[in-house]
Amino acid sequence: MPTPSSRRGDIRAADTLSHTPLAAVERAIAELRRGGAVLIRDTDGSAGLAVAAESCGDATLAQLRGLASDAPVLVTTRRRAEAVGIEIPPHIARGMGGANKPVTLDLPSGVPVDVILRPTAPDQAAHIATRHLSRPIASHAPTVAEAAIELAKLARLMPAVVMGPLARDRARPWREWAAARDTLYVDAADIRGYEKLAASELRPVADARVPLENAENARIVAWRPADGGKEHLAIVIGEIDPTAPVLVRLHSECFTGDLLASLRCDCGEQLRGAIAEIARHGSGVLLYLAQEGRGIGLVNKLRAYQLQDGGFDTVDANEQLGFDADERLYWPAVTILRQMGIARIRLMTNNPEKIGQLSSYGIDVVERVRHVFPANGHNEKYLRTKAEKSGHLF
């Protein structure tokens, strides 16, 4: 049972040293972002050294060659490989069962790694990659490759890594091996469990009264994940009564729409509209979730915009970059609602996926409250694509 104090979002300290799996992944994320190599090992003894393709220049590649037991390969997702014109042979495609799984590509020496990163416009047949990269090969360590792609996504980088293979060896003390080479070590299992674990241990770290233009009786409570990552915010309006269904809006961060009033999407209007609507109703909560760009991050969203200007829609652009159309998980939202003692909600949304995910995690969505704003002359295609491809209920 949630306590009244957690409902108020009282500030709690946490012993972050006890979260070693989270800390290991968090460090690996930072290392990948700054261009360093990370040793990823799985329980079957398979291992590999991963460097983000975005930051793998010639010097890093040479270093990787020196450390690895075999020639470096390029790992990306099936969607990205296909987007740059690489055909997946049937025997490899069969093993993926249609999913957006990692694909391993041979990386002949002299081929620039950034070939896999260049944006591809629909009219530029993606011959850049096919000219340079050979066909997909069977991965020596598929679960390590999958964890490396997951790590790149967590780092909000393109889902593409250069992997220095390491000989499978259960007995070898990989952690010590990595330490002796000034390289970070992380278990594949910790990467796989990271998002859920980080979301399960959110705690309130600040709670302040912030009168808003259309909702003067508002508080903002910041919830910090146990890994020390970016906070999610609960904008609490009025006095919440958790014994009745609470009016709730889940809003995913959108720097361009929320702050700059970009007309490419409907986020700014939805944000301000939701606050005004909750205030009119008397009480409710807007969760401002750190899930920029449907979970791919601002930089990748800008890359997706570039592709959209070349003709792709919002779903295809994500997939061309190698992501899924929507990478969001709603565990953080569920954890915050639970800690606030909110189990039954009236959800302001047009997105059936949000209703499905919250319900599957045990939140009772008693009603969907429509949350639609008129198109603005720039976002018609965006809204149409949401309705046609993502099942949005406008």
Ligand X SMILES: Nc1nc2c(ncn2[C@@H]2O[C@H](COP(=O)(O)OP(=O)(O)OP(=O)(O)O)[C@@H](O)[C@H]2O)c(=O)[nH]1
Task: Point out which residues bind Zn ion (CB under 5 A).
Answer: 254, 257, 265, 267
Whichever of 99 and 259 has its CB closer to Zn ion, that residue is: 259
| N- to C-terminal Cα separation, the chain | 36
Smallest Cα–Cα separation from 23: which of 158, 153, 190, 180? Answer: 190
Catalytic residue among 326, 338, 364, 368: 326
| Secondary structure class of 26 (helix, strand, coil) | helix
Whichever of 320 and 351 has its CB closer to ligand X, that residue is: 351
Please enumerate, by residue number, every residue annotated as part of a binding site for GTP: 249-253, 270, 292-294, 314, 349, 354
Tokens 């967590």 belong to residue: 154
Q: Is 267 in the site for ligand X (CB under 6 A)?
A: yes
Kindly tell me which residue out of 120, 335, 350, 357 binds ligand X, with binding defined by CB under 6 A: 350
Q: Is 296 in the site for ligand X (CB under 6 A)?
A: yes
- The encoded tokens of residue 245 equal 């269904």
Q: Is 253 in the site for ligand X (CB under 6 A)?
A: yes
Kindly tell me which residue out of 221, 265, 307, 333 binds ligand X, with binding defined by CB under 6 A: 265
Stretch near ligand X under the rule CB under 6 A, chosen from 67-75, 182-190, 232-240, 345-353:
345-353
State how far the alpha carbon of 300 is from the alpha carbons of 118, 159, 168, 339, in Å.
12, 10, 34, 32
Does the annotation mark 326 as catalytic? yes
Kindly tell me which residue out of 76, 139, 252, 320 binds ligand X, with binding defined by CB under 6 A: 252
Q: How far is the CB of 80 from ligand X (least distance, A)?
A: 15
Smallest Cα–Cα separation from 287: which of 323, 238, 335, 319? Answer: 335
Helix (DSSP H) and strand (DSSP E) numbers for the chain:
16, 14
- The encoded tokens of residue 112 equal 């620039």
| The dihedral sign for the CA sequence 24, 46, 112, 179 | positive
Q: Is 141 in the site for ligand X (CB under 6 A)?
A: no
Whichever of 41 and 354 has its CB closer to ligand X, that residue is: 354
Strand 73-77 to strand 136-137: parallel, antiparallel, or no bridges (unpaired)? unpaired
CA distance 214 to 266: 19
Q: Is 232 in the site for ligand X (CB under 6 A)?
A: no
Q: How far is the CB of 57 from Zn ion (least distance, A)?
A: 33
Catalytic residue among 44, 272, 328, 384: 328
DSSP code of residue 245: P
Stretch near ligand X under the rule CB under 6 A, chosen from 42-50, 185-193, 251-259, 356-364:
251-259
- The encoded tokens of residue 225 equal 């994940």
- The encoded tokens of residue 136 equal 């997909």
Stretch near ligand X under the rule CB under 6 A, chosen from 69-77, 129-137, 192-200, 263-271:
263-271
Whichever of 232 and 294 has its CB closer to ligand X, that residue is: 294
Q: How far is the CB of 381 from Zn ion (least distance, A)?
A: 14
Considering CB distances under 5 to 8 angstroms, the limit depending on partner class, which of ligand X, Zn ion, none binds residue 224?
A: none
Contact 30, 228 (CB under 8 A): no
Stretch near ligand X under the rule CB under 6 A, chosen from 4-12, 45-53, 114-122, 344-352:
344-352
Considering CB distances under 5 to 8 angstroms, the limit depending on partner class, which of Zn ion, ligand X, none binds residue 296?
A: ligand X
Contact 42, 187 (CB under 8 A): yes
Within 155-207, residue ranges assigned H as helices are 174-180, 188-200
Contact 195, 210 (CB under 8 A): no
Whichever of 113 and 254 has its CB closer to Zn ion, that residue is: 254
- Residues 276 to 295 in contact with ligand X, rule: CB under 6 A: 291-294
Whichever of 203 and 386 has its CB closer to Zn ion, that residue is: 386
Considering CB distances under 5 to 8 angstroms, the limit depending on partner class, which of Zn ion, ligand X, none binds residue 46?
A: none
- The encoded tokens of residue 38 equal 């990370």
Q: How far is the CB of 304 from Zn ion (least distance, A)?
A: 11
What is the C-alpha radius of gyration for the chain, rounded to an integer number of angstroms?
22
Smallest Cα–Cα separation from 347: which of 333, 332, 368? Answer: 368
Chain residues binding ligand X by CB under 6 A are 251-254, 265, 267, 270, 291-294, 296, 301, 304, 314, 318, 349-351, 354, 371, 386, 392
Active site residues: 326, 328
